Amino acid sequence: MAQVLRIVPLGGLGEIGKNMMAIEYGRNILIIDAGIMFPENDMLGVDFIIPDWQYLRDKKAWVRAIVVTHGHEDHIGALPFLIREIPAPVYATPLTRGLIEVKLKQAKVIEGVTLHTVQAGDRLTIGPFTVELFRVCHSIPDGVGLGITTPAGLIVHTGDFKFDQTPVDGKPTDFATLAEFSKRGVLALLSDSTNADRPGWTPSERVIDPAFDAAFRQAKGRIIVATFASLISRFQQVIQAAVRHGRKVAFAGTSMLENVKIAQKLGYLEIPPGVLIRLDEMDRYPPSQVVILTTGAQGEPSSVLARMAAGQHPQLKIVPGDTVILSAHPIPGNEEMVHRTINRLFQRGADVLYDPIAPVHVSGHASQEELKLMINLVRPQYFIPIHGEIRHLKAHARLAMELGIPAERIFTVENGWVIEFRDGQGRIAERVPGGYVFVDGALIGDIGPEVLREREVLSREGFVVAIVRRDPRTGRIIGRPELITRGFTFAREAEELLAGAEELILETARSANGEGKSRQALAQRIQNALADYLYRHTRRRPMIIPVVTE
């Protein structure tokens, strides 16, 4: 009897980030990617989120390999956590492998891990799967998609991609292999949905060059370009522009420097001799001959750019005449921080160029016309939109329908919904865990909705702790109650308010003296009375914590 092919999305379906998928056939599992996601604004205090791979815990022995499509955080960031639990061999192209290596070393999980370097065009045999890697363009070099031949049919997974005809590294997406897959017959296409709500084509990386040239021509002082730490093709473009305009380039920021080193070593970044300078050599050159490449285009408070904007960077000060180019779009949720950084740079006298002021960034993901082209190239029997929030998956599904893929052969599902193929027929099967695992400090997964709800209340209203001591025999309160508040209101304005609260507590304790002798009962009464009192006077509901000691 033929076995069942199962596609188990564990991350990236229903969200942007923490991409992860399991392909399962018999007792064989292939994992594709294991990324992290950055928390939304109301996931208070969470550092980042990793996929919930509970599903794999019983099947650890079945995992044959982890294949990684490219080196972005949302595809490799969770590998240290995953590999600690499931030390399967990892397959990745050279640059991706280099970035993974750094990550595993930092997390001290490199020992005993098998890392295989593979190339676009390679064909790997992993258990019952044959995996063919095909080149895709994206906002990092060396990205691949996967053609996975299983006993149940051929699955095509695009990874993250766009159809850039003139990519900076000269390596366009591999149309030929995609067309060849189509000839062989594709059971299911799993395709990147990030930009599925954007009409048209995503512009080529090359459109940035003229915008850089215009900016470099006009800039009288230093040029500071902020972009993503992994956007190596953008570094290349900045270096080329610097050469054209007779400027030296310095990199600022640890993560960017790390990536530059790897990319240069592996041949993904060409820096002509004499162009690169160290940050501390900058002062030897006139401002008009300097470019600084840095991170912080997302307004991250700890980044070099944000610290420059806030006047808090020890070495780098913004001075009038500086031109700052933000060569990145804000990731949704970061808009406010990005705009704040821009405003602060202007305040310090810099000129700031950003989209839409100047076309200094393009997306790395395919827009609608490219997505249609992908579907038409591959002509799959089944279509599964991946990598996107529900709205993106739905928009992508709508495109597929417009191209004639019947609705019942399109599976628009969120993380955890298993898709099964049996005798050539696909269906949505059971749901397995596919939620969030929060990482906060050194603790993983112990921050759940309860703690977040508490933080949410604290963040809006602050708290009041009321401590009273009572005599266990008489039930009388000893001394004055002690009130401690934080995040609620200024102590000096609240003096009168809190004095009233103390009286109220004493009164509540006195009137409760006869009944309910338990500490808990008294604490409850104090809490209720205090909540009422504070709401009446302030229209606010701080968290109230009564403590009755004896």
532 an active-site residue? no
217 binds its own copies (CB under 8 A): no
Amino acid at 13: L
Contact 432, 473 (CB under 8 A): no
369 binds its own copies (CB under 8 A): no
Q: Where are the alpha helices (DSSP H) in 248-309?
A: 254-265, 304-309
Q: How far apart are CA 414 and CA 468, in angstroms?
A: 50
459 binds its own copies (CB under 8 A): yes
Phi/psi of residue 317, nearest 5 degrees: -115, 135
In the three-class reduction of DSSP (H, G, I as helix; E, B as strand; rest coil), residue 540 is classed as coil
Q: How far apart are CA 113 and CA 97, in angstroms?
A: 12
CB of 67 to its own copies, least distance (A): 29
Nearer to its own copies, 44 or 506 (CB): 44
CB of 199 to its own copies, least distance (A): 7
Residue whose C-alpha is closest to residue 325's, from 354, 301, 356: 354
Piece of the chain touching its own copies by CB under 8 A; list 182-190, 327-335, 375-383, 418-426: 327-335
Contact 318, 350 (CB under 8 A): yes
Instruction: For the beta carbon of residue 526, count every other beta carbon within 10 angstroms.
Output: 25
Nearer to its own copies, 422 or 519 (CB): 519
Piece of the chain touching its own copies by CB under 8 A; list 87-95, 147-155, 225-233, 458-466: 458-466
Enumerate helices (H) and strands (E) in the chain, giving the number of each. Answer: 15, 25
User: Which member of 210, 267, 424, 448 binds its own copies (CB under 8 A)?
Assistant: 448
523 binds its own copies (CB under 8 A): no
104 binds its own copies (CB under 8 A): no
Instruction: For the beta carbon of residue 41, count every other beta carbon within 10 angstroms.
Output: 9
Contacts of the segment 499-504: beta carbons below 8 A, 24+ positions apart? 500/533, 500/537, 501/464, 501/466, 501/530, 501/533, 501/534, 504/529, 504/530, 504/533
472 binds its own copies (CB under 8 A): no
Q: How far apart are CA 111 and CA 355, in angstroms?
A: 44
Piece of the chain touching its own copies by CB under 8 A; list 121-129, 316-324, 415-423, 439-447: 439-447
Nearer to its own copies, 44 or 276 (CB): 44
17 binds its own copies (CB under 8 A): no
Contact 364, 160 (CB under 8 A): yes
455 binds its own copies (CB under 8 A): yes
DSSP 349: T
Q: How far apart are CA 464 and CA 483, in angstroms?
A: 7
428 binds its own copies (CB under 8 A): no
Instruction: Give Cα 206 distance to the centre of its chain.
Output: 26
- Please report how the helices 232-244 and 208-218 are oriented relative to each other, as an axis angle in degrees rounded to 10: 40
489 binds its own copies (CB under 8 A): yes
* Bridge partners, residue 22, by sequence: 8, 31
CB of 434 to its own copies, least distance (A): 14
Piece of the chain touching its own copies by CB under 8 A; list 84-92, 243-251, 350-358, 369-377: 350-358
473 binds its own copies (CB under 8 A): no
357 binds its own copies (CB under 8 A): yes
Binding site residue list: 45, 47, 70, 72, 74-75, 138, 160, 361-365, 387, 440
User: Which member of 210, 272, 487, 516 binds its own copies (CB under 8 A)?
Assistant: 487
User: Which member of 59, 245, 394, 409 binds its own copies (CB under 8 A)?
Assistant: 394
User: Which member of 198, 396, 470, 525 binds its own copies (CB under 8 A)?
Assistant: 198
CB of 70 to its own copies, least distance (A): 24
Q: How far apart are CA 53 and CA 51, in angstroms?
A: 6
537 binds its own copies (CB under 8 A): yes
Q: Measure the CA dihedral 96/98/100/102, to 10°.
A: -150
CB of 163 to its own copies, least distance (A): 19
Q: Which of 142, 164, 365, 392 is catalytic?
A: 365
220 binds its own copies (CB under 8 A): no
CB of 357 to its own copies, least distance (A): 5
Nearer to its own copies, 59 or 519 (CB): 519
Q: How far apart are CA 324 and CA 321, in angstroms?
A: 10
Q: Which of 52, 142, 164, 192 is catalytic?
A: 192
352 binds its own copies (CB under 8 A): yes
Binding site residue list for substrate: 361-365
Strand order in the sheet with 463-470: 477-486, 463-470, 543-549
Piece of the chain touching its own copies by CB under 8 A; list 58-66, 161-169, 206-214, 531-539: 531-539
Instruction: For the beta carbon of residue 298, count every other beta carbon within 10 angstroms.
Output: 23
Nearer to its own copies, 85 or 454 (CB): 454
Nearer to its own copies, 1 or 442 (CB): 442
Q: Pattern 176-195, binding to its own copies, x per CB under 8 A?
A: --------------------
396 an active-site residue? no
Span between the terminal Cα atoms of the chain, in Å: 72
Nearer to its own copies, 67 or 447 (CB): 447
Nearer to its own copies, 25 or 48 (CB): 48
Residue whose C-alpha is closest to residue 435's, from 51, 20, 35, 18: 51
User: Which member of 319, 484, 499, 521 binds its own copies (CB under 8 A)?
Assistant: 484
Site size toward its own copies (CB under 8 A) is 65
Q: How far apart are CA 481 and CA 503, in angstroms?
A: 9
Distances (CA, A) of 160 to 157, 179, 317, 365: 9, 18, 37, 6
* Residues designated as active site: 192, 365
Binding residues vs its own copies (CB under 8 A): 14, 40-42, 44-45, 197-199, 332-333, 335-336, 339, 342-343, 346-347, 352, 356-357, 389-391, 394-395, 440-443, 446-448, 450-451, 454-463, 465, 467, 469, 482, 484, 486-490, 493-494, 537-540, 543, 545, 547, 549
